[in-house]
Amino acid sequence: MDRIPDIAPQPERLAWQMATVIAITTETPRVKLFRLKPADWHGFTAGQHVDIRLTAPDGYQAERSYSIGSAPDGSGEIELAIDLIDAGEVSPFFHEVVEVGDAIELRGPIGGHFIWRAEDGGPLLLMAGGSGLVPLMSMLRYRAAAAPEIPAALIYSARRHEDLIWRDELFRRATEDPNFTLLATLSREATPVAGIRQGRIDRALVDAALQSLPTTPKTTYICGSNPFVGAASSFALDAGLPFASIKAERYGG
């Protein structure tokens, strides 16, 4: 496997730059995907995010952070998955106003902790709640291209079946990739769905993910709302995973 050319750390200085919206996809009823091409991009590391800055005509500005869901793939483009927050300021703008061809100001890539490179090794245990999947998806896609021999398991909790982001791709990867196990669970779906568990994340689900891996995970990445991360990290600690091997990123902040 050739070395992926797009891996880059957070730069010494983060400059604001313009990015062009290349494509917009409605992924779930509440999540749209935005493919962006920044003007001056030197790659990123799976797990990193960008800061977006929007400017009103009178100069008022709003900033938010969004994780990158695409893999570092040398394309010079990044994909953000933006979850609609009804009373929000920035996500409704993206969902209702932004069009292909628009210019959006951003800076990045940002983050030096919640990241994974092939040389960091595995096995990997990934736990995602809702849109907390986004940085973990970047890791999974990158792993499949750069280091498919590294075992990985993903626990992914969403509300309903329709809310599972990248659902078809995840199940396809789980079917095709012998070193990747997907354990999806739905917390608010009334109708059972084949191959998907019902209910919130619990210790049994964490144990099942651990059993799917040949050895104890080298690193566990947990991303989601604070209640999700709190529960998932408690189950991980209870299952005996070392405190220092667990990395968390909490949304809703």
Partner 1 sequence: MATRGFFGKRPTDDVGERLPPGQYRTDDFPVLSAGPTPRVALADWRFTLKDGVRPVMSWNWEAFNQLPQSKLTRDIHCVTKWSKFDTAWSGVMIDDLLAEAGIAAPSEFTLAHSYDGYSTNVPTDDLINGKAMVATHFDGQPILPDHGGPARLLVPHLYFWKSAKWVNGLQFTRRDEAGFWELRGYHMRGDPWREQRFAGD
**61 near partner 1 (CB under 8 A):** yes
Burial (CB count <10 Å: 0-12, 13-18, 19+), residue 24:
middle
CA distance 52 to 247: 24
Query: x/- binding map, residues 233-252, to partner 1, per CB under 8 A?
Result: xx-xx-----xx-xxx-x-x
Q: What are phi and psi of 22, to 5 degrees?
A: -90, -40
**203 near partner 1 (CB under 8 A):** no
Among 54, 84, 85, 145, binds partner 1 (CB under 8 A): 54
CA distance 119 to 122: 9
**Buried b or exposed e, range 79-113, using 16+ CB within 10 angstroms:** bbbbbbeeeeebbebbbeebeeeeebbbbbbbbee
Of the two residues 80 and 170, which places its CB atom closer to partner 1 in the complex? 80
Residue 228: both structure tokens together: 């999700």
**37 near partner 1 (CB under 8 A):** no
Q: How far is CA 102 from the centre of its chain?
A: 24
CB of 39 to partner 1, least distance (A): 13
Of the two residues 58 and 168, which places its CB atom closer to partner 1 in the complex? 58
**43 near partner 1 (CB under 8 A):** no
> Does residue 181 sit in helix, strand or coil?
strand
Only segment of 36-44, 63-71, 118-126, 154-162 that touches partner 1 (CB under 8 A)? 63-71
**Tokens 């990997």, residue?**
124
Among 3, 29, 56, 168, binds partner 1 (CB under 8 A): 56
Q: What are phi and psi of 217, to 5 degrees?
A: -60, 140
Only segment of 62-70, 120-128, 186-194, 209-217 that touches partner 1 (CB under 8 A)? 62-70
Burial (CB count <10 Å: 0-12, 13-18, 19+), residue 177:
middle
Of the two residues 179 and 224, which places its CB atom closer to partner 1 in the complex? 224
Among 77, 105, 120, 202, binds partner 1 (CB under 8 A): 105
Query: What are the residues binding partner 1 (CB under 8 A)?
Result: 9-10, 12-14, 51, 53-57, 60-65, 89, 93, 97-98, 102-105, 110-114, 226, 230, 233-234, 236-237, 243-244, 246-248, 250, 252-253
